[in-house]
Structure 1
Amino acid sequence: MAASCGRFVPLVLLFFCLSAHAVDHSNFKTCDKSTFCKRQRELKPGQSPYRALLDTLELSNSRLTLQLINNNNKVRLLLELYRLQGNMTRVKINELKPLKPRFEVPDVLITDPLTEPLSVVTQDENGLVLSLGGDEQRLIVSAQPFRLDIVEGRQVLVSLNSRGLLAFEHLRARKDTISHKISSTVGSMWDSLKSIFSSKSESNLEQDSGQENVEQRADEKDGPIIEEEDKPGMWEEMFKSHSDSKPNGGTSLRHSRTRGHTKTKKHRYELHNPMALYGSVPVLISHCTERTMGIFWLNAAETWVDISSNTAGKDSSEDAQTDVRWISESGIIDVFIMLGPKPTDVFTQYASLTGTQSFPPLSALAYHQCRWNYNDQEDVKAVDQGFDEHDIPYDFIWLDIEHTDGKRYFTWDSSKFPQPKDMLQGLMDKRRKLVAIVDPHIKVDSGYKIHNEIRSKNFYVKNKDGGDYEGWCWPGNSGYPDFTNPEMRAWWSSMFAYDQYEGSMENQYIWNDMNEPSVFNGPEVTMHKDALHGVWEHRDVHNLYGLYVQKATADGLIQRSGGVERPFVLTRAFFAGSQRYGAVWTGDNAAEWGHLKISIPMCLSLGLVGISFCGADVGGFFKHPSAELLVRWYQAGAYQPFFRAHAHLDTPRREPWLFGPEITALIREAVRQRYALLPNWYQLFYNAHRTGQPVMRPLWVEYPEDVTTFSIEDEYLLGKDLLVHPVTDEGSMGVTAYLPGKGEVWYDVHTFQKHDGSQSLFIPVTMSSIPVFQRGGSIICRKERIRRSSSCMENDPYTLYVALSLQGFADGELYIDDFHTFNFEKEKQFIHRHLSFSANTLSSRNLAPDSHFSTGSWIEKIVIIGGSRPSSVTLRNADGIESAVEFDFDSVTTVLTLRKPGVNAGADWTVLLR
């Protein structure tokens, strides 16, 4: 691409991931051992064989179709192009007449995207130009070789096939077993699918039950389809002792796009190794000072991504360019080009496609205590009491796999947890909750109700021969429910009903682990690719499996409450759209400083692709942290969205009070800071749910023209107003934080010291230090009466921290509802206030006049930072009645404290400084 763009931020790239507890490289394929990837990488840039057949162009109001032909083998493809509302373009490429349907990803898009009109500006024998709306944006289709360019003015934003690397392996019959006929099995599968695909375009359905002569798929003037020679791995391949049969042959595809200079950062777990683990979000985001854009590759098969950059020098006439090759094993090309131009625009565009972050109950944003495993009910009770005795708040205690009867999920070990409802009731009496693990591998045991019902309903994934697929996981020999089947998902959801899940109560929530799916004795520690989900192979749907598990579980928790209560479900595996169903954690990390440090860019990356509810196991899952590392991890975790301590079965116990009183005090303070900020966290998640904007953000999101922010990944923003720089180095005596924003000011939230923006600031630290800064011009709401759980604080008063800009202005928001139900949506029962300070006047204004909700919370204190001493302070309530407010002013810190204005948090009011 010839885009003139300056320096780019590291882009987000979260992709094909498998499951593993400990990284063993020999268990995972390289591209050379994955034959489809190897075949595609062997294709070199050059003359593309694809030509656009302009005489096949059809244009409706919102959709363009155009046939492409591969000049080498005469196979035709169908290109579909849509202009979508919100400055997006969708490009789909499929075989024009495949022997059978190719998999198209369902259930990820929240709706059919709304389209806008397309119109042809010019057309000749060499190509055509389309208007994409407005006077500036054009889409140029070049005929031979085929190429797409999206331009704005004179700038090329994105190009497709500019280097001739588009490749699409078509379905064909295997020469050594079938001459020109497709097997009757494929034919019957096509018959069963015909109704499913009845809404597809007729050009995709012009097939006679899969029995046509292959040569007739080409137009007569093109000549017959020329079948290429089979290459190694086209029809079967081996990895270690595992055989992968490929009844459809090679079905891989490659899509090449270019745009301006970028760097890449992948979601990974072994540090600085791009080997895949756990989840997949096929989104690429690029950013430079002039523009932010994104590409969403909607394909659930194994995918490799190659990125190469040409960085133009200052004196070079050549534009900076990045080439990106997406290589997927199966499916179709279905690409959404999100054209920004601002970072916030890309987030909005992606959210319009895959949805926003689910709005969690407030308690889920508080502190979670977990380990593999708490031994029994008495252990749970003792840990619960330990938090009270050491005055450390927490909301959730977690139970891992050992709480079950022999790893039979939806059950309890009767000797260790004989009365689970008594245990849950004891927690409920303290307004606390519990999470129990429910994994999607089911013990094959004729005495196990869950297994028997799944088998009787024929809901298990099948092996290639049609029997139930079985693999090895925690229970031993296990079956794997087919979560791609909506009937299976509905049944799974029903199992969370209180009369089905014996011993469960309304304060029990769920954790889905091992849902990649994890198969200990499977290839690459997961399911065989030729396993069958109905008519589709696992290779087609692998990355959807974890999303479906979490969806079915979340639906179950909603249904058990009659649709009233918001669920909380944590998942390890995820895909695009998983944000709609709960939280994600970064998996099995280790008690090492490097793992603490990398938790920041990992969660930042997830937030940029919609998954704001992210966190890492505090303290590290494997190994045993030093006291210093544990403290620093608590301090960092307290300022990340999902805040949970977790540890491996074989590690020493590490509850916060087991490292001595000094360490306990440091951990207590970190957790208390989290609880004080819960009102801010809750408001940020409400906005993420409404708008798709990430909660935890890289600095460049708010300062897109500041190139210094582009490579920073050891500090971040919460919303736009809090800057956090955790201490992540052993023995650190100080950190250097970059405070962005020329002409802005930042205030240390602990000392109120004022610092100018657009500078790197060295901050001396001690073991108690958590460097956090509030942006001048913002208002942050806190609750400073810390109790044993967030539920105990629901009606407590608020303290407002008003940090003034250099111009004496500040604003913020306060959001309140019942903190746990869907009534904020269904009944409009919530409070949403806009807080603003200007001209020495602080006011609260209603942002939701049609909502109906009351709160017992009131404004206890107002802290104004960066102002001057007034002669008097007056409160004016909604009725216009004025009263004096007590205040103190610290001339050293320039902090004005207003005490007990006493106004209800949901009311209109004004404070005047005179």
Structure 2
Amino acid sequence: MRACAWLAIIALIPWTSGFKVEDFKRCSDSAFCTRLRGSSGEAYAVLPNSVAVAGSQISAQVKHEASGALFQLAITAYEGTVRLTVDEADPSVGRFHVPEVLLPELPQQERPWTKVSQTRSSLRASLGAAAVELGYSPLKLVLNVDGAPAVTFNADSMFAFEHRRAKGEEDPEGWWEEMFKGHRDSKPKGPEAISFDLAFPGVRHVYGLPQHASALALPPTTGLADNATSEPYRLYNLDVFEYAVDSPFGLYGSIPLLWAQRLGLTVAAFWLNAAEMYVDVEHAGGGVRTQWVAESGVLDLFLLLGPSPAEVSRQYARLTGTTAMPQEFALGYHQCRWNYRDEADVRAVDAGFDRHDIPYDVIWLDIEHTDGKRYFTWDAALFPEPEALQEDIASRGRRTVTIIDPHIKRDPGYHIYSEAARLDYFVKDRDGKEFDGWCWPGSSAYLDMLNPAARDWWAKLFQLDAYKGSTPHLYVWNDMNEPSVFNGPEITMHKDSLHFGGVEHRSVHNLYGALYHNATAQGLLERGTAVHGEDGDRPFVLSRAFFAGSQRIGPIWTGDNSATWEQLRISVPMLLSIGLAGLPFSGADVGGFFGNPEEELLVRWYQAGAFYPFFRGHAHLDTKRREPWLFGEAATERIRVAIRARYAMLPYLYTLFQAAHAEGLPIMRPLAFEFPGEAWALGADDAFMLGPGLLVAPVLEPGAAQRALRLPAPGPWYSATTGEAAAPGEHTLDVTLDSVPAYLRGGAILPFKERARRSTGAMARDPLTLVVALDAAGAAAGELYVDDGRSFAYRRGVFLHRRFEFAGSVLTSRPAPGGGGAMASGVTVERLVVLGLQPGREWGAQRDGAPLDVAPGPLLLRPGLPRSALVVRKLGLPLDADWAVTFLPGGAVA
């Protein structure tokens, strides 16, 4: 019986033979996109007598000239941000407003408008360095920054708001019913789509709109450009696997945030709308024009006015929040496969890392660990003692992750299903019955995560007494939460399915996975408080689907990629785009999920993946085993070096995550983020910055003997391997399979831990190395953040945040601006490495008048590297105290 059921499920999965573009919609297959894409000429006008300015808000009524329909418009001022909302004038219509994304404290950020002038045709108002002009007929909004146009709304008269109407008034094709691949969408509310255009004058590069396997600078989708595609960028969360690269096709997550950058100005637009959406990009008129079309919801548009890239990131974070501070183990290496077969297999893989001296922190279990795909259960034959297994892994400082997906097996004997059904917590179909979709367990119900009570109930399932076989060392992976429905249209849920409050799925679709992700994280948060007390335990939950605000919950990854060089190459711009969209904790499956990578590809992927914010190797059930030691000793050594380099960087990486948590800054950054004045850097995406101090240029092509690289000004730059200086400009580097081109930025100080350990937990008390890379003026600065790596004690000041500065040949350690915290760490600075001191001279160093052990040495503690740095050894400087080290030219060399 079970075998027959499994075969039936397999027959329903359209993607088992690979991605088929015909199984998914194009714009021409969506009635609303066909209606509104490229359309203009709709007449919407502001009623002059309705315009009012009161405090932070400009309000007005807008009239659709052809139908007489009225809409309510509001323009709200925030610090550095302007919010434009349009909704139907009659609030009883009840259009869907996206919940759970904007921060509740947002109203506290409102700023008053200063009215400059008002006539019968327009209104002008200012907000600091920004000014707006609202044109009445036709409706048009122009935003200026420092006196120059930055963005214009409705410049091409593409604004359209399909108002609610009764069936029978008009009945064009696609308004009240639509078919796709045999699936009927009943569309009971009729047409309710929204369109508008945004123009960015002087701009040549726009970024964002994740998730797409596309270049960082989004290629045009319309117009006369040679590289224009025929399809707009689609934002609709879907279970797409082995996805095509260089494509506007929508993937697993959606964040409707678009950056526009020109020399001297960076701005962004964020549309808070969770329905299916299409965005066109056109280069025209000396700038970029875009058209946005969504199937339902309201217009809730935020225009972020920068003017710098960092300010845009901060402005978006003030709307939707910053990234959750992760546990330190989450930044280590993760080993995953669908599936590790049983407890013996898991133990063998765990032991293999120790046997080959490769560090790792987390081992993952996919769906086969469960009892018949019933989540929160274990297969008693394969995993008879799950708690003992987790405790054994934890004894070496490591964790375990299990998969828990949103589809619940429709089995009355399964307690999760029976209880949720009794409480009426499942999504309904169009007829009000429990939605029945097919996924891994077969016939499945889907929890209604729009229902707050359902989310609260779900969270309680993660308590140790509810999740039998779990321990405090167990964390969670949410997959298939787009949601994936094997027998649904486009492998997802029918749009006319019904959620809490009668909301159709079409309006909540792109938010669904984030709500599920959040409810799961809430469960681990509550478990952590129950187990550890007030300071708790920071959740770790990986999600495949995401939306705006997901950064507050946990990491995501780019989904089911393939073991190809194309997929390795595209992973870099994909992660850069996701980071710019406010979600810095992301990664791509190292090695590719589908297929079998050859040795060179696998090595190059580990070398690149070591710099991803989230670093996980993962593989499909049908692939050959590919643990890091299975490709021969040469490959094992190269992978070992790459993973150990990741662990050496963890103090720097953890500090970057604290900055992301505090300010909303990305971790993996485009070159133009750090160097917005370099015209050539705009759109560059084959190299990137890891934070402000490290430039990484991974080798992304097979058989490469050379790697072209351009280093931004000002310099100097220093090789992260040898410490040798390099000037700004174009370089052609000779590379081997051991090469990972990376450069320290002159003026940066980066912290490292260089002792080889088995996991992050084993490194906690290890001493630090500070690498000081001097700029042309002989100065440098950097920071280090340390806490317990696990709990929320940092919220009450239990942390250390230090700032290091090198100036006038003196290196100092002081509390970071804003507060250095208080924590007894026991960690010391053992080694200083200084790059860029005046060459040709001997140098000494002292602390409190006492000479220190100084000698030329290598940048890294690896044999055979050039002795191109000045190294101060055996220091023992306390991390939790102030100190100074003075460098003396002509001093005695120890």
**Which of 43, 54, 71 in structure 2 is aligned with 1:49?**
43
Contact 2:845 2:887 in 1 (8 A): yes
How far did residue 542 of structure 1 move? 0.2
**CA distance in 2 between partners of 1:849 and 1:355 (Å):** 21
What residue number does 2:204 align with? 262
- What is residue 122 of structure 1 aligned with on the other side? 117
Q: Provide the residue aligned with 1:39 in structure 2.
A: 35
Contact 1:779 1:835 in 2 (8 A): yes
Question: Do the aligned partners of residues 668 and 600 (structure 1) sit closer, same or farther apart at CA in structure 2, a change above 3 Å counting?
Answer: same
Name the structure 2 match of 1:862.
Answer: 832
Pairwise CA distance, 1:149: 1.3
Work out the percentage of aligned pairs sharing the same amino acid: 45
Say yes or no: does 1:248 pair with 2:215.
no
TM-score after normalising by structure 2: 0.90
1:886 CA drift (Å): 0.8
Aligned to 2:89: 96
Residue 545 of structure 1 and its aligned partner are, at CA, apart by 0.5
- 1: CA distance, partners of 2:133 / 2:14: 42
Aligned 8 A contact 1:293 1:339 in 2: yes
Write the distance in 1 (CA, Å) between the matches of 2:724 and 2:146.
Answer: 47
Tell me by how many angstroms 1:309 deviates: 1.6
Q: 1:871 to 1:52 in 2, by over 3 A?
A: closer
Displacement of 1:749: 1.2
Matches within 5 A, 1:156-171: 156-171=149-164
Residue number in structure 2 paired with 1:316: none
Does the residue aligned with 2:536 lie in a helix, a strand or coil? Answer: coil
Name the SS of the counterpart of 2:730 in structure 1: strand
What displacement does 1:514 show? Answer: 0.3
CA shift, 1:235, in A, is 0.5
Matched, 1:746 2:717: yes
CA contact (8 A) 1:139 1:148 kept: yes
Task: Indicate whether 1:614 and 2:586 are aligned.
Answer: yes
**Alignment-derived partner of residue 744 in structure 2:** 774
1:71-82 matched pairs, under 5 angstroms: 71-82=65-76
**Match in the other structure for 2:141:** 148
Aligned to 2:784: 814
CA distance in 2, matches of 1:346, 1:451: 44
Per the alignment, residue 282 of structure 1 pairs with 256
* 2:521 paired with 1:554: yes
1:480-499 pair list within 5 angstroms = 480-499=446-465
Segments of structure 2 that go 5 or more residues without pairing to the other structure are 1-12, 214-242, 530-534, 859-865, 889-894
1:583–1:859 CA distance, 2 compared to 1 (3 A): same
Quote the residue 1:643 is aligned against. 615
- Please say if residues 98 and 170 of structure 1, whose CA atoms lie closer than 8 Å, have aligned partners that are also in contact: no
Q: Which runs of 5+ in 1 are unaligned?
A: 1-17, 176-226, 312-319, 877-881
Measured after TM superposition, the shift of residue 712 of structure 1 is 1.3
Task: From 746, 754, 771, give the equivalent of 1:784.
Answer: 754
Select between 655-664 and 510-519 the one with higher mean Cα deviation: 655-664
- How far is 1:412 from its partner? 0.5
The 5-angstrom pairing of residues 513-524 of structure 1 reads 513-524=479-490
Which AA in structure 1 matches 2:62? L
CA displacement 1:621-644 (0-9 Å, x = unmatched): 000000110100010101111110
Deviates more, 1:373-382 or 1:706-715: 706-715
Opposite residue 623 of structure 2, the aligned amino acid is T
SS at match of 2:141: strand
Which of 389, 393, 401 aligns to 2:367? It is: 401
CA distance change for structure 1 residues 80 and 788 in 2, over 3 Å: closer, same or farther?
Answer: same
User: 2:547: which partner in 1?
Assistant: 575
- 1:164-563, aligned counterparts within 5 Å? 164-175=157-168, 229-260=170-201, 261-264=203-206, 267-268=212-213, 269-310=243-284, 320-534=286-500, 535-562=502-529
Structure 1 SS opposite 2:646: helix
Aligned to 2:606: 634
Shift of 1:264: 5.0
Q: Deviations over 1:522-574 (max 9, x none)?
A: 00110000000021000010011011111011111110011611111110000
Match of 1:833 among 772, 780, 802: 802
Q: Does the CA contact (< 8 Å) of 1:19 and 1:526 recur in 2? A: no
- What's the offset of the Cα at 1:359? 0.9
1:665-702 per-position Cα deviation (integer Å, ceiling 9, x unaligned): 11111111111111011000011100111000000011
Q: Any conservation in 2 of the 1:19–1:518 contact (CA below 8 Å)? A: no
For 2:703 and 2:119, how far apart are their aligned partners in 1?
A: 68
Q: Distance in 1 between matches of 2:472 and 2:643?
A: 25
| Mapped contact 2:130–2:147 kept (Cα < 8 A) | no
Alignment partner of 1:27 out of 23, 29, 33: 23
**1:30-68 CA deviation, whole Å, 9 max, x = no partner?**
11110011111262x34x411110111233211121011
Give the C-alpha shift of residue 257 in structure 1.
1.5
Deviation per CA, 1:221-252, whole angstroms, max 9, x where unpaired?
xxxxxx5x322110011111100001110000
| Amino acid corresponding to residue 702 of structure 1 in structure 2 | E
How far apart are residue 374 of structure 1 and its match? 0.2
> Does structure 1 conserve the Cα–Cα contact (< 8 Å) formed by 2:343 and 2:383?
yes
How far off is 1:163 after superposition?
1.4
- For 1:124, the aligned partner's letter is T
* Cα drift, residue 19 of structure 1: 12
Deviations 1:584-630 (A, max 9, x none): 10000000000001100000001101111111101100000001101
Is the 8 Å Cα contact of residues 19 and 277 (structure 1) preserved in structure 2?
Answer: no
In structure 1, how many angstroms separate the alpha carbons of the residues matched to 2:542 and 2:663? 22
Q: CA deviation at 1:581?
A: 0.6
Whether the 8 Å CA contact 1:462–1:532 is kept in 2: the answer is yes
Write out per-residue CA displacement over residues 85-144 of structure 1, whole angstroms, 9 at most, x where no aligned residue: 2x11000001112662100111100123421112332222222222x223x532212222
* Cα distance, 1:20 vs structure 2: 6.8
Inter-partner Cα distance in structure 2 for 1:540 and 1:304? 14
Counterpart contact for 2:145–2:305, Cα < 8 Å: no
Within 1, Cα distance between the matches of 2:443 and 2:130? 57
* Distance verdict in 2 for CA 1:42–1:901, change over 3 Å: closer
Residue 19 of structure 1 contacts residue 278 of structure 1 at CA under 8 Å; is this kept in 2?
Answer: no
Deviation at 1:485, TM superposition (A): 0.9
1:561 match: secondary structure: helix
1:884 deviation in Å?
Answer: 2.3
Q: Give the C-alpha shift of residue 769 in structure 1.
A: 0.9
Matching of residues 839-858 of structure 1 within 5 Å:
839-847=808-816, 849=819, 851-858=821-828
C-alpha distance in 2 between matches for 1:730 and 1:577: 37
Q: Distance in 2 between matches of 1:59 and 1:154?
A: 22
Q: Which amino acid aligns with 2:522?
A: D
SS in 2 for 1:55: helix
Counterpart amino acid of 2:158? L
2:245, 2:567 within 8 Å by CA — same for their partners in 1? yes
Between the aligned partners of 2:653 and 2:797, the Cα distance in structure 1 is: 20
Match of 2:852 in 1: 885
How far apart, CA to CA, are the structure 2 residues paired with 1:99 and 1:639? Answer: 51
CA distance in 2 between counterparts of 1:865 and 1:544 reads 48
Instruction: Provide the C-alpha distance between the structure 2 equivalents of 1:278 and 1:872, rounded to a whole number of angstroms.
Output: 56
Secondary structure of 2:784's aligned partner: strand
In the alignment, residue 146 of structure 1 is paired with which amino acid?
L
Report the alpha carbon displacement of residue 894 of structure 1 after superposing the two structures with TM. Answer: 4.5
> 2:762 & 2:526 partners in 1: Cα distance?
26
Question: Are the equivalent residues in 2 in contact too, given 1:20–1:518 (CA < 8 A)?
Answer: no
Provide the secondary structure at the position in 1 that maps to 2:93. coil
Give yes or no for the alignment of 1:907 onto 2:849: no
Provide the rounded CA distance (Å) in 1 between the counterparts of 2:119 and 2:555.
Answer: 52
Task: Give 1:154 deviation, angstroms.
Answer: 4.8
